[in-house]
Structure 1
Amino acid sequence: MKRILWMFGLLLAFTQVNLQAQDRVLVEAESFQNTGGWVIDQQSFDVLYSSYLMAHGMGRVVEDASTKVNFEKGGTYHMWVRTKDWAPYPTGPGAFKLSINGREIDQVFGQSGIIDWDWYYAGSVDMKKGENTLTAKDLSGFNGRFDAIYFSTSKEDKPINDNEKLLMLRKELLGLTDGPEEIGEFDLVVVGGGIAGTSAAISAARMGLKVALIQNRPVLGGNNSSEIRVHLMGRVDVNHYPKLGRIVRELDNGDPGNGNPDEKRYGDDRKEQIVKAEPNISLHLNTHVYEVEMDGNSIKAVIGRDIATNQEYRFEGTYFSDCTGDGTLGFLAGAEYRMGRESKEETGESLAADTADDFTLGTSNLWASLEKDYPSDFPETPWALQFSDEYHIDEHKADWQWETGFGNFNTIYEAEAIRDHNLRAIYGNWSYLKKEKAEKYKNNELAWVSYIGGKRESRRLMGDHVLTQMDIQDGVMYPDGSVTATWTIDLHFPDAKNSKYFEGEEFFAATKHIRVKPYTIPYRCLYSRNIDNLYMAGRNISTTHVAFGSTRVMRTCGMMGEAVGYAAYVANRNNASPREVYTRHLDEFMGIIESPLNIYTYPTLPNK
C-alpha cells in the first residue's frame, strides 16, 4: 500500500455527513479491552489490513473476551460480524457467540461452511446511548475467530468485503484519516524484531546511531521467541572475524531445542531487557509496517499500525533495514526480489531445480504435550486431517519436520491457510493418538501449540551480489566477505511417506544436509541493488534458493544484523549510501569488523 491510500481515505472521510458517521460504529476485534483467553493474530495483516481475535484453546474453551463501546446515539442498530469457517467439514469447529449488554445473540458464528472471510448479518440490536458491553464467547476452543463488528442504523448498509476498500472504511470509522502520529527521525529504522533485526538495532545503536526497532509482535526474537520456539542454529565461534557474533551471544538463551513447552527457556524478557538498556534504541512492539513513503529511489518514512489499538505511527529515517523475513519493507518500496526456485540453466547450480518454480521451504507450527498425574481425553476432530494405523506421527512433541508449504501455498499471502493446515494436522494426529493409543498417551495433554507460524522462506531481496551454491562450496573469499556462515545447504522437501498418504496436503518434511566449510557472505548481499538506502538482514538477503538453504539459520542471520549496524554507521559517518560503503569506504567497514579493539572504543560521532 502506498501513501496515497490514506490520502484517499482522508478525502473520503471529509465527504461523510457527521450524522451518518454517528450512525455507524466499527469495533475491531483486536481492540477488545479484555481479550480473555483469545489471542491477537496479525499474521495476515498484509492481506486483510487488520489483525483479528482467535480462540486458541487447543480443544479447551477459552475465557470470554469483552470490551466497552460508546454510542453517541442510542436506538436500534443492524449488526454484522466479519468472520469465517476456517475448517469446514461441512462446518468447522470455530464456533462462537456474541453478547450485547449481557444479552446473547441467537446466531452461532464461525460455522457457515464457507472458508472465506465475509460479513455475517446478526440481526437488529438495541444499543444504549453511551457505554455498551460486547462479549465474545468461545464454544469449542478450536480457533474460532472474528475480525470486526459493524453497527449501522440502515439494514442496507452491509460493509464492503474487499480488503483494500475495507481499509478505507476502517481508517474513516477509527478516526485515522488525519494521518499517523509522528514518532521522529532516525539514523536507522529497523523493521522486524527477530534475531537479525534485534542484532542490527543493537549494533547500530552501540555505534552511536539513533535507531528505531519496529516489531509486529509483543515479543522480540521472531522464530526464537516463546511464540514460535525454534532454537538458534549456525555457529559464531569459527568466525573469520570474531567480532561478529558478540551480540548474538548476548541474545542467545542456550539451546532449549525446538518446541520446548517451557516458554521461559526462549528468553523473551532477556532479549527485551538488552534492547531497552540501549539509550539509542526506540523500541516499538506490536507495530506492523504496511506503508512506505518514497523519495525517488529512497525510502523516506514507514507507516506502522499497532496490531491491537490500530493507532498508526510514522517513522522517518536516513537508512532502513528490512529484517522482516518476508522482505515486506523491500516489497513495499519496490525493491527487486525473487521468490521460489531458480533453474539450473539460470544459476549453474547442481542443486537447483531443473525448471524454475514457486516452490519454497515451508512454515512450521510446533507443539508439545506434557504428562500429567491424571488421565485426560481430547475431542473428536472430523474436520481435521484423518490418521490411521497405517500412517500417524507417534510423538509426544513436534520438531522441525512439522512443516507446510512446499509450493502448495504462498507463504506470505496464504499464511493463514498454512497455519490452519498445520493445526488440522496437529489436532487430527493428537486426536488419533489419544483414542487409538490411549494407554500410551492417556495422561498426556497438549501443553502448547504455536498459533504463530515459523516461516523459513519467502521473498529474497536482490543486492549487488547474489550468493550461489558455488560461492558456498568453493569458499570464495570476496573483498567484502563479512559474515561467516557454517550451516549445511539444508533444503526441505515433503517426506515421502507423508506425500503418499497426504498428497498435495503435506505437513511433514525431510531434508538432505549438504555439508560445507565455513564461508563468508559478501556485504553486497546485505543491501538492495535498486533502493538506495535499504539494507536487509536475515532470511531475506540476496541469495539463490539453494544458497538460502545455508544462510537462513538464526545465529548467521544475527551476525548479518550486526554487520548491517556497522555498515549503517560507516554510511552515516560519511554521508554515503549502502552501496558506497562498498565502492568508497570498504576499508573502513572491514576495519571495524577486523579490528581486535572493543567496539565501544571506536569513534561514534558522525563525520559528515
Structure 2
Amino acid sequence: MQPLFRTLLLLFISLKLSAQDHVFLETESFTDKGGWVIDQQSFVVMGSSYLMAHGMGRPVKDATTTILFPKKGKYRVWVRTKDWAPFPKGPGKFQVVLNGKPLNQVFGESGSDVWKWYPGGEIEVQNEQMSVALHDLTGFNGRCDAILFTNSPTFIPPDKLDAMTAFRKQQLKLTDAPTQANNFDLVVIGGGIAGTCAAISASRMGLKVALIQDRPVLGGNNSSEIRVHLMGDVDKNHYPKLGRIVREMDNGDPGNGNPDAKEYGDARKTAIVKGERNISLFLNTHVYKVEKNGDKIVAVVGRDIATNKETRFTGTFFSDCTGDGTIGELAGAEFRMGRESKAETGESLAADKADNFTLGTSNLWASLERDTVSSFPETPWAIQFSDEYHIDDSKADWQWETGFGNFNTITDAEKIRDHNLRAIYGNWSYLKKNKAAKYAKRELAWVAYIGGKRESRRLMGDHVLTQMDIQEGKQYPDGTVTATWTIDLHFPDERNKKYFEGQEFFAGTKHIKVAPYTIPYRCLYSKNISNLFMAGRNISTTHVAFGSTRVMRTCGMMGEVVGFAAYLTKKYNTSPRGVYQEYLPELMAIIKDETPPGKP
C-alpha cells in the first residue's frame, strides 16, 4: 500500500469511528495467558501475534484478562479467528467467556482456514469493567487473534489485510511515535546462535550493541522452543580463536527433539548475554519496519509480541541474523530464494532449471513412557495413516519436515506448521490405536509449535559462495569461518512422496562430504545496503553451498566475525565493504588472535 493511501485510509477510519465506541482487545495482551501460547510466526503476513491453545490433545487452562468499557449499554461482539484444519471442520474449538458466562457461539470450527471476524452476538454491559476468558475445548491448537466490542449495530470490522492493518494500528494507537531506544553502534536483529554470537563478539570488542529477538528465549533453532542440536565443527578451524563464543553457547548434544527443555540451556544463554555490559537485550520484539537514508539503514522499528508496544532502534551498523533475511528484504537488499540453475552457477548439484524449491521447516516432537495406559483422541481432520504407511517412532528427528517448494517458508509459515501438526497428531493417533502393545503407556510429552526453519532468503554480498568454492577448497584472502558440514540438501522422502505427493512432510538427504573450507568475509555483508552485515543461514551463497553453511555452530562463528568487523567499521569510520578493501589485514589479525583489540 502506498504511504499516502495508507494515511488517507487511517484518517477515513478514524473519522468514521469517531462516533462509535470500540473496545479492541488483542489476545496476546491478555494478563494471564493460562495454557495458551503466543504465536508470532506469521507476523509478516498478519501484522500481529495471536494466542493459540497448544495442548497436544488436552484442553489448556483459560487465558484471562479484564477490560474497561467507556460506557454501559449494548455491544456487539466480534472474534477474529480461523479453522486451521477444516476437514470439513477442524479441532480448534474454543469459547469466549464474559464475566463467567460463555457466548453462545463456539469458535474455531467454521470450516474456513482464512483469518476473519466472526460475530459473537450481542451483550448488555452493565458495569464498565468486564472479565474476558478464552476457554479451550480440545487442546488442538485453537487460535484467536483479537476480540472487538462495538456499540454500533452496523459496523463490521475489516477482513482484508491492508484495511485490517490500518484498523489494528488505529485501535492500538500505534500511529504515535514509538519509544526511542538509545543509539547503538551495532543493532543485531535475530537472537539465534548467529545473532547472539555476533552481539557478544561486538560487545567484547567495545561496541554498544542492541540484540533484538522476537521470542522470549535466545538460541533460535537451538532453543527449548524448537530443540535442534548444534552441528558443524569448531575444532577444525584455520583460526582457533573462532568458535570460542560458540562453545559458550553450546549446551552439549541433547539431540533433536529432547523432551527435557533444560537440555537446551535457555537460561544459560540469556545469562551470558545479560552479563555483557555493552549489550542491551530486547526479547519478544518483532522488527517489522526499516528506515533508510540512501543506501544506509538508519533505524528499525520493533513491536513487542505481547504488549504491542513499539520501539525504534537507531544505529550506525545493523546485522540481519533473522534467518529469513527480514531486515535485508525490508531495506531493499538484493537476495535470492530458491534454487539457481546449472546454467547460472555452473554447479553440478544445481537444479536443471531455477525454481522456488527450498529446504523445509521442522516441528519436532517427543513422547515419554508413563506408568499407566493413556488414550489419544480420534483425529479425522489430521493426515490419515494406515498399516501400509505410518511412521513407527516414539519421537521425531530432523526428517519431520514440510516445505520443498510446495509452501513458501516465510509467507506460508503458519500453513507449514499446521501441516506438520496434522502429520504429528494423525500419526500419533494411529500408533495409539493400532500399535497399542508398544504405545499404550506412551504419551506426547512435547510438540514444537514454533517451526524450525532451514531455508528462505539468502542476502547477496560481494561474494556468492558456490559448490566449487567448497569442493575445491578455495582459500580466498578473506577466508574466515571454517565450515565442515556436508553439502546437505534435503528432499522429500520417496516413500512419503508416494503416499502424499505435493503434501510431503518427511525428508531424505544425501550427505556429500567436504574437507574443511573457509567462508569469505565478503559473504557476510550486503552488496547494496552499505551498513548491513548478515550472519546465519541468510548469508551470501548459492542454494547448493547453503546446504553446507547453514548449520548452527558454523553460523555462530559467522556472528563472531561480524562482531570483529563491526569493531573495525567503528574504529575507522568505514563500511563493511571498507573493512575488506582497506583493513582486511587487521581483521585477519584479530581473527588469528595476533592483534590486541584497539591496536592496528
Q: Normalising TM by the smaller chain, what interval?
A: over 0.9
1:455-477 residue CA offsets vs partner (Å, 9 max, x unmatched): 00000000000000000000000
Match of 1:404 in 2: 402
What code does the residue aligned with 2:373 have? Answer: P
Match of 2:279 in 1: 281
C-alpha displacement of 1:540: 0.2
Q: How do 1:344-423 residues align onto structure 2 when only pairs under 5 Å count?
A: 344-423=342-421
What is the rounded CA distance, in whole Å, between the counterparts of 1:17 and 1:368 in structure 2?
A: 49
1:328-384 residue CA offsets vs partner (Å, 9 max, x unmatched): 000000100000000000000000000000000000000000000111000000000
Q: Indicate how the Cα distance of structure 1 residues 140 and 5 shifts in structure 2: closer, same or farther if over 3 A, else same.
A: farther
CA contact (8 A) 1:7 1:177 kept: no
CA contact (8 A) 1:72 1:129 kept: no
What is the rounded CA distance, in whole Å, between the counterparts of 1:6 and 1:335 in structure 2?
A: 24
What code does the residue aligned with 2:134 have? Answer: A
1:204 to 189, 202, 205: 202
Match of 1:508 in 2: 506
Match of 1:260 in 2: 258
Q: Indicate how the Cα distance of structure 1 residues 52 and 274 shifts in structure 2: closer, same or farther if over 3 A, else same.
A: same
What is the rounded CA distance, in whole Å, between the counterparts of 1:360 and 1:157 in structure 2?
A: 43
The runs of 5 or more residues in structure 1 that have no matched partner are: none
Give the secondary structure class of the aligned counterpart of 1:184.
coil
Match of 1:230 in 2: 228
CA contact (8 A) 1:49 1:164 kept: no
Match of 2:597 in 1: 602
CA contact (8 A) 2:14 2:170 kept: no
What code does the residue aligned with 1:546 have? Answer: V
CA contact (8 A) 1:38 1:56 kept: yes
C-alpha displacement of 1:195: 0.1
CA contact (8 A) 1:51 1:308 kept: yes
1:160-187 residue CA offsets vs partner (Å, 9 max, x unmatched): 1122321221121112211211012100
Q: Indicate how the Cα distance of structure 1 residues 94 and 485 shifts in structure 2: closer, same or farther if over 3 A, else same.
A: same
Q: Indicate how the Cα distance of structure 1 residues 244 and 8 shifts in structure 2: closer, same or farther if over 3 A, else same.
A: farther
User: Which runs of structure 1 show a deviation greater than 2 angstroms over 4 or more consecutive aligned residues?
Assistant: 1-20, 127-130
Match of 2:444 in 1: 446
What code does the residue aligned with 2:443 have? Answer: E
2:115 to 114, 117, 127: 117
2:434 to 433, 436, 439: 436
CA contact (8 A) 2:10 2:167 kept: no
CA contact (8 A) 2:49 2:306 kept: yes
Give the secondary structure class of the aligned counterpart of 1:346.
helix
What is the rounded CA distance, in whole Å, between the counterparts of 1:311 and 1:6 in structure 2?
A: 21
Match of 2:56 in 1: 58
Match of 2:497 in 1: 499
1:12-55 residue CA offsets vs partner (Å, 9 max, x unmatched): 676466553xx011100111111100000000000000000000
What is the rounded CA distance, in whole Å, between the counterparts of 1:429 and 1:51 in structure 2?
A: 29
Q: How do 1:208-223 residues align onto structure 2 when only pairs under 5 Å count?
A: 208-223=206-221
Match of 1:291 in 2: 289
CA contact (8 A) 1:538 1:554 kept: yes
1:133 to 118, 131, 134: 131
Match of 1:536 in 2: 534
1:553-602 residue CA offsets vs partner (Å, 9 max, x unmatched): 000000000000100000111000111111111111111101246xxx52
C-alpha displacement of 1:152: 1.1
C-alpha displacement of 1:9: 7.6
Give the secondary structure class of the aligned counterpart of 2:510.
strand
Match of 1:589 in 2: 587
2:488 to 487, 490, 509: 490
Match of 1:339 in 2: 337
What is the rounded CA distance, in whole Å, between the counterparts of 2:113 and 2:15 in structure 1?
A: 35
What is the rounded CA distance, in whole Å, between the counterparts of 1:288 and 1:428 in structure 2?
A: 32
CA contact (8 A) 1:482 1:523 kept: yes
What is the rounded CA distance, in whole Å, between the counterparts of 1:344 and 1:356 in structure 2?
A: 8
1:304-339 residue CA offsets vs partner (Å, 9 max, x unmatched): 000000000000010000000000000000100000
Identity percentage over the alignment? 69
CA contact (8 A) 1:3 1:292 kept: no
What is the rounded CA distance, in whole Å, between the counterparts of 1:421 and 1:155 in structure 2?
A: 38
C-alpha displacement of 1:156: 1.8
C-alpha displacement of 1:204: 0.3
TM-score, normalisation: structure 2:
0.98
CA contact (8 A) 1:373 1:443 kept: yes
What code does the residue aligned with 2:256 have? Answer: N
Give the secondary structure class of the aligned counterpart of 2:384.
coil
CA contact (8 A) 1:190 1:321 kept: yes
Give the secondary structure class of the aligned counterpart of 2:242.
coil
What code does the residue aligned with 1:461 have? Answer: L
Match of 2:100 in 1: 102
What is the rounded CA distance, in whole Å, between the counterparts of 1:247 and 1:377 in structure 2?
A: 45
Match of 1:301 in 2: 299
Give the secondary structure class of the aligned counterpart of 2:544.
helix
2:182 to 184, 187, 190: 184
The runs of 5 or more residues in structure 2 that have no matched partner are: none
Give the secondary structure class of the aligned counterpart of 1:504.
coil
C-alpha displacement of 1:519: 0.3
Give the secondary structure class of the aligned counterpart of 2:181.
strand
RMSD: 1.5
Q: Indicate how the Cα distance of structure 1 residues 174 and 499 shifts in structure 2: closer, same or farther if over 3 A, else same.
A: same
1:248 aligns with 2:239: no
Q: Indicate how the Cα distance of structure 1 residues 447 and 223 shifts in structure 2: closer, same or farther if over 3 A, else same.
A: same
CA contact (8 A) 1:6 1:179 kept: no
Match of 1:75 in 2: 73
Match of 2:34 in 1: 36
What code does the residue aligned with 1:553 have? Answer: V
What code does the residue aligned with 2:262 have? Answer: K
CA contact (8 A) 2:96 2:135 kept: yes
C-alpha displacement of 1:415: 0.2
Match of 2:161 in 1: 163
What is the rounded CA distance, in whole Å, between the counterparts of 1:161 and 1:311 in structure 2?
A: 23
